[in-house]
Amino acid sequence: MATLFVMQGRDKGKRFDLRGDDITVGRDGSNRIQLNDSEVSRRHAEVRRTPEGIVLADLASSNGTFVNLEKIDQRLLKNGDRVQIGRTLFLFTDADDRSSVNLAHDVDIVGLGNVEGSRILKSVSHESGSQLFAPPDPAESPWLARARSNLQVMYRTALAVSHTLDIDQLLSRILDLIFEWVEADRGCIMLVDHETEELAPTASRNRKGVRVDGKLSISRTILDYVMQHKEGVLTSDARDDQRWNPEGSIVKLGVREAICVPMQGRYGIVGVIYIDTYTPPGQIVQQRAPNKFSEEHLKLMVAIGHQAALAVEDTSYYSAMVQAERLAAMGQTIATLSHHIKNILQGIRGGSYLIEEGLKEEDNEVVRRGWRIVDKNQERISNLVMDMLTFSKDREPELVPADLNETLADVVELMQARAAEAQVQLVLQRRDDLPQFQFDPDLLHKAVVNVVTNAIDACEKREGARVEVSVEHEPGARFVHIVVADNGEGIAAEDLTRIFSVFESKKGSRGTGLGLPVSQKIMREHGGDIRVESTPAVGSRFYLELPTSVSAVVNQTQLP
């Protein structure tokens, strides 16, 4: 499936499916891809499906449409193309656009019997690989030593940028590396702000022990030059080499030098790296040279800038993906909860309407029916809120020695009215030989109520419907089991793994999909779990396992 994924711009993180025929892109609400971008025309471009593939066409927009930085009228899109419309940057992906060559014909993984003559001569671990460039040999030429050192810097840069997906951490590592390698006093990385398209300082560093006066001032002319020409620059206020003599002002005032390089990514400049240094007058005479920065430093900085830019782009893409997933999850959660709340509201409205009708006609029976519906829906919203709170918070159970029979009797008593309404016989098989166990009575009550509620719903109005709550316990066993058994419709094998997933419900408008995940969470917080055995059309047995000797394990809870 072909998609346009927004990597930059106000709609960052959104993914647009390109299914269907001609899809327009623009600012206006009539476009299937509507962009929140003032630099996009009302109807800016069109995505067309052709026999050759997906074509992007500009619709005579004011600011133009660009593919991989090139202005286009019409262009066949390829996997990985970057599409710029206004300030919005898309990544085009097409899952169908891949090589049809079947590599399985060319590559064969052979078994142990076919490796005659092959043996491992040497193996190198990841850690050893990072020592690719050993310290220079004093005997080798200075040129070779410098080349080895530069390669080492590039290798370490590549490693540094590949180990993090946090932009701040990434930039900080790059500055660390630069400061290790070059004698800079101050350094700063500025990234392009996608909203304003201006450079904004994002990370800075001063060399330890170097006195820095005030703010770091960076010449706008230099920045503009670097951004426009996409070239790194080396600057020095020692403008005239002829001044390099013991009487010259340079010797009296010192020299300030700077390197500023673009962070040239795959599709544009993402920022700049700036470093500078100051050589005081005395040191110039001592080192017999006016400069600390050389052309070689500049070249290496350009290479580092490129590496850093690629990493910034990748990190930015990754964070956009994460944001998109978060938004999708949040959207799904809000939609599901809104749906349940809407149904509950509808019930309350219905009950209220009956009460109103009953009062109007002075019919107490209708008032009673209405009130029962209102009351039931108040209970539903209360349960929904409590389940949401339990599910969203990690809390340590308040373990106290408690009587399991008493907690289960409370549950069964509470659920009797609902069971009667559903024409289900609800019974508790007490075990009078049970010792006290350590558990949080309120939480366990909640966990069992949710399972019993499901059991009642599963066999509602079936002939001979019965839900039985019992306890299985052997002296000395690690777990005591609370068993909730019903003779209801049962659960299909393919659904057994899904029933503990949040918002998965087979109960239609009656279920929130929170009950079982909440029960599972509570049992896991106690160090136990829930398991289920079920046969479709015969019934289900839920086992709530409670450790007989526990300490709370709230932090180890793993939810699906």
Partner 1 sequence: MTQSPSVLIVEPSADEREVLRTVLARRGLRIWEAAEVERGLELAREHHPDVILLDTEANHAGDDGVQAEFDATSIAQHSSLIILGRISHDHSLPASQVIAKPYHFAPLIHKIEQLAARAA
Residues that bind partner 1 (CB under 8 A): 342-343, 345-347, 349-351, 353-354, 357, 361, 366, 369-370, 373, 376-377, 508-509
Collapsed DSSP state (helix, strand, coil) of residue 68 = coil
Smallest distance from partner 1 to CB 125, Å: 57
Closer of 286 and 332 to partner 1 (Cβ)? 332
Q: What are 403's two structure tokens?
A: 């009587």
In one-letter notation, the amino acid at residue 473 is H
Residues 525/542/438/441 CA torsion (nearest 10 deg): 80
Would you call 225 exposed, middle or buried from its count of C-beta atoms within 10 A (0-12, 13-18, 19+)? middle
At its nearest, how many Å lie between partner 1 and the CB of residue 200? 45
Q: Which residues, other chains included, contact 287 with Cβ-Cβ below 8 Å and sequence gap of 6+?
A: 279
Closer of 243 and 376 to partner 1 (Cβ): 376
What single string gives the DSSP state of each residue in 189-258?
EEEE-TTT--EEEEEEEE-TT----SS----HHHHHHHHHH---EEEES---GGG-STTSHHHHH-EEEE
Give the nearest distance from C-beta 377 to partner 1 in angstroms: 7
**Distance in Å, CB of 537 to partner 1, minimum:** 17
First vs last Cα of the chain: how many Å apart? Answer: 28
Provide the angle, in degrees to the nearest 10, between the axes of the packed helices 295-360 and 142-162. Answer: 0
Q: Among residues 343 and 405, whose Cβ is nearest to partner 1?
A: 343
Q: How far is the CB of 352 from partner 1 (least distance, A)?
A: 9
Judged by CB, which is closer to partner 1: 275, or 373? 373
> What are phi and psi for residue 175, nearest 5 degrees?
-65, -40
Closest to partner 1 by CB, 202 vs 512, is 512
Which residues make beta-bridge pairs with 67?
Answer: 70, 83
Report the half-sphere exposure of 180 (CA within 13 A, side-chain side): 13
Q: Give the residue with the Cβ less far from partner 1, 344 or 448.
A: 344
Q: How far is the CB of 354 from partner 1 (least distance, A)?
A: 6
CA–CA separation, 346 vs 349, rounded Å? Answer: 5
- Do strands 23-26 and 45-50 pair parallel, antiparallel, or not at all (unpaired)? antiparallel
Least distance to partner 1, CB of residue 81, Å: 35
Place of tokens 């109005």: 461
DSSP-assigned letters across all residues of 437-474: EEE-HHHHHHHHHHHHHHHHHHTTT-TT-EEEEEEE--
User: Tokens for 156?
Assistant: 């370490």
Cα angle, residue 372 at apex, residues 368 and 377 outer, rounded to 5°:
150
* Nearest approach, Cβ of residue 425 and partner 1 (Å): 20
Rounded least distance, CB 477 to partner 1, Å? 42
Closest approach of partner 1 to the CB of residue 404, in Å: 33
Q: How far is the CB of 417 from partner 1 (least distance, A)?
A: 15
What is the nearest approach in angstroms of partner 1 to the Cβ of residue 222? 59
Q: Which is nearer to partner 1, 281 or 350 (CB)?
A: 350
The nearer residue to partner 1, 364 or 436, going by C-beta atoms, is 364
Nearer to partner 1, 168 or 379 (CB): 379
Q: Report in angstroms the alpha-carbon separations of 59 from 4, 49, 56, 119.
A: 18, 16, 10, 63
Nearer to partner 1, 83 or 458 (CB): 458
Nearest CB to partner 1, comparing residues 164 and 343: 343
471 contacts: CB under 8 Å, gap ≥ 6: 404, 405, 408, 429, 431, 434, 480, 481, 482, 483
Cβ proximity to partner 1: between 249 and 332 the closer is 332
Q: How far apart are CA 354 and CA 534, in angstroms?
A: 40
The answer to whether the beta carbons of residues 548 and 472 sit under 8 Å apart is no
318 vs 353, which CB is nearer to partner 1?
353
Taking the complex as a whole, the smallest distance from the CB of residue 347 to partner 1 amounts, in Å, to: 4
Residue 156, C-beta contacts closer than 8 angstroms, at least 6 positions apart: 130, 177
The answer to whether 157 touches 177, Cβ cutoff 8 Å, is: yes
